[in-house]
A = this chain, B = another copy of it.
Amino acid sequence: MTEDIEVLIADDHPLFRNAISEALTNTQTLVHVSQADSLESTLQRLNEGNIDLVLLDLKMPGSEGLLGLIQIRNQFPEVAVAVVTANEAGRTLAQVKAAGALGYLPKSMALEDLVSALDGLLRGTPFYPEGLNQGVDSQDDVEAIRKLATLTPQQQRVLALIARGFLNKQIAYELDVKETTVKTHVSEIFRKLDIYNRTQAAMYNQYLEVPE
């Protein structure tokens, strides 16, 4: 279709999408911009093909934290993804890095820095800010999150309630299904996460909620 580089901006803040879009026009590369405001619409646009680079906000409706990133990397390994986020904690940076993102752009960056970073990203050059603390457990973290990404939406809901200490009975009431159904989900969660009780599941779920 086009010879431009296709960029998808995935962020739930319209203002910020415009700001990044603006920055992209100042790069030395011809780009064509698509936008998405949720993980769902992001995946949908990716399915339509032709995307070269995704600029992804980690805090979006549909899936908080790293789940979205991993999901995209799983389903579209050939698409470059750079994370754009307000969260500047070092732990997240390490996770993003190990999860295979091409770059990490703090929202606090100066515009000119952003432009030059984008310039590099469009040419396939990784970009990571310096000076941020390196997390330690990044490899284990990413492995954990990769497993979490295999859970179906309903299973993720069940897991979240397990992590709040809910009984199967309470979870059933909350999700308006039978307790036997919950048990089915629970067993499947254990199988996917390679664990054998709900307390371990609760700890696992931490990975999705800690990043503030």
**Proximity bits, A180-212, B CB within 8 Å = 1, else 0:** 000000000000000111111011001000000
Interface size class of A (residues with CB under 8 A): 10 to 19
Interface flag for A162 (CB, 8 Å): yes
Cβ distance A8 to chain B, nearest Cβ, rounded Å: 32
Is A163's beta carbon under 8 Å from chain B? Answer: yes
Contacting pair A163 B203 (CB below 8 A): yes
Q: Which residues of B contact A197 (CB under 8 A)?
A: 165, 167
Closest to A165 in B: B200
A196 CA / B167 CA spacing, docked (Å): 10
Q: Which of B195, B196, B202, B206 contacts A199 (CB 8 A)?
A: B202
A: residues with CB less than 8 A from B are 162-165, 167, 195-200, 202-203, 206
Q: List 8 A-B contacts (CB under 8 A).
A: A163-B199, A165-B195, A165-B196, A165-B199, A167-B197, A199-B202, A202-B203, A206-B206
